[in-house]
Amino acid sequence: MEKTTNGNQTRMLVMTGLFAALGCVATMVLQVPSPTGGYMNLGDTVVILGAYLLGPVYGAIAGGVGPALADLLSGYGIYVPATLVIKALMGLAAALLYRALKKQNWALVVCGVAAEAIMVIGYWLFDGILVGSLAGSAAGLPSNFVQAAFGLIVSTLLALVLKRSGYVRREFPNL
């Protein structure tokens, strides 16, 4: 875990829970079924934004738990383990890369692309296991690309707006 004081650690745990809940709701609010049995959703926006705001450890936890819970609650239980790992890796990668690129505005796009590449490739591979064919699981790629584009654009725009806020800069030094 990252260095924190007791009060700050409690705050980060609460914010992690909040972002997990937001990720769950964003994933469940609009679900468009994909040809491979999964669904397109809005959760990537929260996963990536949470990574920027919370940092790699807390962002990965929130990013994995929220969407995995949404899969469970939505009847997509078979996707829970994959979602937990894929979305946590998305959050971890976005946050670590954002730090490595010195939190520059342009880095938001690079980090979002990297995170979404993990999502697209991760679900393509997992769907390949489920259907027994990577070629067959390619049918889900278009919907994952649409989801990735939406998540990238909206998380980038929201992060840029939040970066301008003095309050957010004070409360979320990771951004």
Q: Is 6-171 CATH 1.10.1760.20? A: yes
Residue 103 in this model has a pLDDT that exceeds 60? yes
- 10: helix, coil or strand? helix
Q: Which of 66, 71, 11 is nearest to 39 (CA)?
A: 71
Mean pLDDT of 88-98: 98
The confidence score (pLDDT) of residue 1 equals 54
Measured CA to CA in angstroms, residue 100 lies from 15, 110, 111, 113, 125 at distances of 23, 11, 10, 15, 28
What is the C-alpha to C-alpha distance for residues 73 and 23, in angstroms, rounded to an integer?
Answer: 13
Mean pLDDT of the 77-89 span? 98
Mean pLDDT of all residues in 157-175:
83
Does 150 have pLDDT greater than 90? yes
Instruction: Note the pTM of the prediction, 2 decimals.
Output: 0.92
Q: Could you tell me how far CA 139 lies from the centroid of its own chain?
A: 22
Mean pLDDT of 55-73: 98
pLDDT-based confidence at residue 3 (cuts at 50, 70, 90): low
Residue 89's pLDDT band (cuts 50, 70, 90) = very high
pLDDT of 49 strictly over 90: yes
User: Which residues make Cβ contacts (< 8 Å) with residue 107, sequence separation at least 6?
Assistant: 97, 98, 101
